[in-house]
Structure 1
Amino acid sequence: MKVSARNCLKGTIKSVTKGPIMAEIVIDIGNGVTVTSVITAHAAENLGLKEGKTAYAVMKSSEVMVAVD
């Protein structure tokens, strides 16, 4: 797989929660860190996303905001 995004984190799918339109995908990237994504249920089905499968969290953004209390 080749992708232009700078942030591509490999992990294992921890959970897939499908709704009628959207699906929430939680990817364990190690050391107790997870990344959660919400994608269409159709995309989740097409990708064959299932618990335990290897997947990549790919993030591409022109801006990352940082906040503190």
Structure 2
Amino acid sequence: MRISARNQLEGKVVAVTEGAVNAKVDVDLGEGKIITSIISMDALKELELTEGSSVTTLIKASSVLLMA
């Protein structure tokens, strides 16, 4: 699959918290760095994500918010 996102980080799913509509997925990138993604329950099921799943996170710069 080809994709325009250049910010790609490999990691492992360490936690999945299911909600009524969305799921929170925590991904360990290594060295104590965790990234969290909110995805639909449909996407969670389609991707068959569970704790321990290997994933690639994709970050589009136009969708990143920072707070200090």
Q: TM-score, structure 1 length as denominator?
A: 0.85
Between Structure 1 and Structure 2, the one with more helix by share is 2
Instruction: Summarize deviations over 1:7-59 as a string: whole Å, max 9, x none.
Output: 11000000111111000000000000010000101111100000001011110
Q: TM-score, structure 2 length as denominator?
A: 0.86
How well do the aligned residues superpose, as a CA RMSD in angstroms? 1.8
Larger radius of gyration: 1
Distance 1:56 1:63 in 2: 17
**What is the percent sequence identity of the aligned residues?**
37
The unaligned stretches of length 5 or more in structure 1 are none
Number of equivalenced pairs: 68
Runs ≥4 in structure 1, deviation > 2 angstroms?
A: 61-68
The unaligned stretches of length 5 or more in structure 2 are none
